[in-house]
Amino acid sequence: MKEFGNTYKLREPLMVCISAQRMPYARGNTLLHRQEPLLILGDEHSRMRRQLNSAFSPQSIKDVSHVLFDLAHRLAENFDNNIGLEAESAIFDISPLLHSFAVDAISMTMFAHNLSAGKEDIPGILHNIMNGPNVDSIAARCIGIFIGMFPQLLALPNPMKSWADKLRTELGKIANKVWDEGCSDAGMDAKIMQALSMFTTIHRKEASLSYSLVERDDSNGEAVSRDEAVAQLISILFAGSETVANVLGELLYELARQPAIQDKLRQELLDFQSKYGRSPNYEDLTKSTSNTLPYLDAVTRETMRCKATLMDIARCALEDDVIPLSTPLANTNITQIKVKAGTNISIPIRDGVNVDPEIWGPDADVFRPERWFEDGGLPDSVKAVRALGNIMSFGDGPRICLGRTFAYAEFKIVAATLIPKFVLATEGSKIDFYHLGGNTVKPKVRGREAEGIQLPLCIRRF
């Protein structure tokens, strides 16, 4: 970027563009998802988005927030168990615990199934697909480039395709079970199933909700097939589990690296408990009009900004167009660029828009929550990023992340549960966050990369 500027062409027909302007273009891929709202185009995309909107509405998330709180407390219990009864602290890898939390949060609220406790090996399949090969070799990189040039090769028999087929099969069994038998577990919900108009509430008994299938079309009078339901489950499971687990890991690692920020956040949460005689509830954590936990809100915003789990957002021009640029092309006065139909456009997020010094100032790459509330903390240039919250971590426009409100709720609930109970510290290893498999970054210990994904921290009871 320093050499070529914010917009440059890599290889026909691929362009990299860092711009605060919106880019409502589309991108497709069908290896894992035969028919899902993140990838399909046009009217079909709009229809699927409408079907799923209610599953991720603020009211729906509030309805299932008790599940998220229960899982957060279970996560704290797992931390306790790893420390043991006779010790005050221990060093252990927190990444599998965070991944289990994220997978269960999606499965137990969206399709009424506890994947971690089930007989299926879905968490293992997800791990294989999302993490890819552990070895970062020249051969692996060359293969990746070759597949990028000829994506049709992914249709040939390969381990990734086998894992994807197995995932579809296993999730299909779960969907059929919930479809046929409904849901009667008070500790779970099936928001996606309800959103797809599969279920109706037939009775309410005390705290228990039961759902049964009714043959009903969606709001447009179009039938919802089981295959489509499975595609939706796969889409949401991928989008919702991997990203949340990774961003929570980066938060806890950053707090371990910066004890002053950790202490300030803990004190705010303890002060809240002292003042109100209870821990924060869902409304305390999520109401935009509430100013009871301003530092938690600032930590959340800063984590989503400079620890974005997505490396980039890819779009494809469906027709010839002209893109306005917020900054001119390098060494020119050109402020717009013509693109042809079929041009792939990569918008860097983690190392691009979210940490661009021209937007965020000279300390753009510094994790500093205070910027969100101190006078002059945010330059006027931040207003040019017209995405939600002035950050591009969840995308923007008609393809903005459906689960952003759900992700924010998970993030704050876990932070508010763990930080008052535990003190986090690094254990001496240097952690690097790599782009491995999929489009997210994951932690590895420097010098021990061959051991795979891990995030060891020293955890002490407070």
**DSSP per-residue string spanning 268-298:** HHHHHHHHHSS---HHHHH-TT--S-HHHHH
- Give the pLDDT of residue 258: 98
Q: Compute the C-alpha angle 120/126/129, nearest 5°.
A: 135
Largest CA distance in the chain: 69
Give the CA-trace dihedral at 258, 264, 265, 269, to 10 degrees: 150
Contacts of 407 (CB under 8 A, 6+ apart): 240, 243, 244, 247, 394, 401
- Give the pLDDT of residue 205: 39
- Give the pLDDT of residue 407: 94
- Give the pLDDT of residue 397: 79
- Give the pLDDT of residue 52: 80
**DSSP-derived 3-state class of residue 403:** coil
Instruction: With a cut of 70, list the residues of the chain below it in pLDDT.
Output: 1-45, 47, 118-123, 125-161, 163, 175-176, 178-187, 193, 196-226, 288-290, 435-439
Contacts of 137 (CB under 8 A, 6+ apart): none
C-alpha span between 415 and 266 (Å, rounded): 9
Best CA proximity match to 75, nearest among 375, 433, 411, 318: 411
* Token pair of 332 as six digits: 């020119």
String of DSSP letters for 438-462: TTBEEEEETT-GGG-S--EEEEEE-
- Give the pLDDT of residue 199: 43
pLDDT tens for each residue of 399-455: 788 889 999 999 999 999 999 999 999 999 999 987 655 567 889 999 998 888 899
User: Was 306 annotated as part of a binding site?
Assistant: no
Q: Are 408 and 100 in contact (CB under 8 A)?
A: no
C-alpha span between 411 and 413 (Å, rounded): 6
- Give the pLDDT of residue 207: 38
- Give the pLDDT of residue 235: 76
Dihedral sign of CA atoms 267, 292, 373, 403 in order = positive
Question: What CA–CA distances, in Å, run from 430 to 97, 161, 457?
Answer: 20, 34, 11
Q: How far is CA 126 from the centre of its chain?
A: 14
Best CA proximity match to 413, nearest among 295, 216, 279: 279
pLDDT tens for each residue of 356-379: 999 999 999 999 999 999 999 999
pTM: 0.82
**DSSP-derived 3-state class of residue 427:** coil
Which domains are delineated in the chain? Answer: 1-31+312-348 (no CATH), 32-311+349-461 (1.10.630.10)
Specify the amino acid at residue 38: L
* Token pair of 383 as six digits: 């207003």
